[in-house]
Amino acid sequence: MKRYSLIVFAAMLLMPILAKAGNFSFDVIGAYNNVGDAKNQPGLGFGLGYQVHKDFNIITRTIFSFVTENKNKPDQIKYEHLMSMGGVEYVYFFPQYRLFWRSSFTIGYSETMIRSRTATGDYELRDKGANFAFSTGIQWIATQHLSPFLDLGYHNSYYYGDFEESKIGGYQILLGIRVYIFNTIDIGSDY
């Protein structure tokens, strides 16, 4: 119990400091990934961001996508892909339209898995490695705390095991909403 009290006390001390430091954001993301040899996959994700300058954010992003072919049949195949990345995001503000043009570059960890059921038995291919992604898109300022966005981009994973010879990567569509935490965006000024 003392440990939890200490964590809550530390959070209470840090919140005012962090609130004055800059904008923090939380992204809820719906994704559609072209994963090359691991098929096209819809997915979900989240992101965290911190504004370090008027035009630059440090971001983290995790996206999990999956698809099942021939579901509940003897030849069912499941494809899964996970990306957990960190990087930078550049934002340019168009005050007259309440729009941001945003571009990001991230690198990080990736994991891909294919599970298959066949008449001769089940098998699984799985690999972990590095990946990179870049995207660009628009973000509309709906309120001081909420901003929906649409990004188009490309991602690629590099593996040295089961998928060393495979192409795991392709285009990416991200649709989501950014929630600003602590500080807000002043929608009446030029940013």
CATH of the domain at 89: 2.40.160.20
Q: Is 13 exposed, middle or buried (0-12, 13-18, 19+ CB in 10 A)?
A: exposed
**pLDDT value at position 37?**
82
Locate 112 and state its tokens: 């891909």
Number of structural domains (the chain) is 1
- Cα 16 to Cα 48, 49, 58, 144, 183: the distances in Å are 19, 18, 20, 19, 11
**116-167: pLDDT as tens digits:** 887 677 889 899 999 999 999 999 999 888 999 999 999 999 998 888 888 8
Q: Give the distance between the most distant pair of CA atoms in the chain.
A: 66
Residue 32 lies in a domain: yes
Torsion sign, CA atoms 44, 33, 166, 133 = negative
Give a yes or no: residue 8 inside a domain: no
User: Does residue 86 belong to any structural domain of this protein?
Assistant: yes
pLDDT score of 183 more than 50:
yes
138 within domain boundaries: yes
Distance from C-alpha of 21 to C-alpha of 183, rounded to nearest angstrom: 9
**Does some domain include residue 69?**
yes
Query: In this structure, is residue 191 part of a structural domain?
Result: no
In a domain, residue 111? The reply is: yes
Interacting residues of 135 by C-beta distance below 8 A, sequence separation 6+: 103, 104, 151, 152, 153, 154, 172, 174
Residue numbers of the domain that contains 121: 23-182
CB 54 within 8 A of CB 23: no
Q: Is residue 169 part of a domain?
A: yes
Q: Is the pTM of this model over 0.75?
A: yes
Q: Are strands 121-140 and 169-182 parallel, antiparallel or unpaired?
A: unpaired
pLDDT in tens, 21-78: 568 899 999 999 988 888 889 999 999 999 888 889 999 999 999 999 888 888 888 9
Nearest to 58 by CA among 106, 19, 15: 106
CA distances from 144 to 6, 50, 184 (A): 32, 16, 5
- Per-residue confidence (pLDDT) for residue 191, from 0 to 100: 44
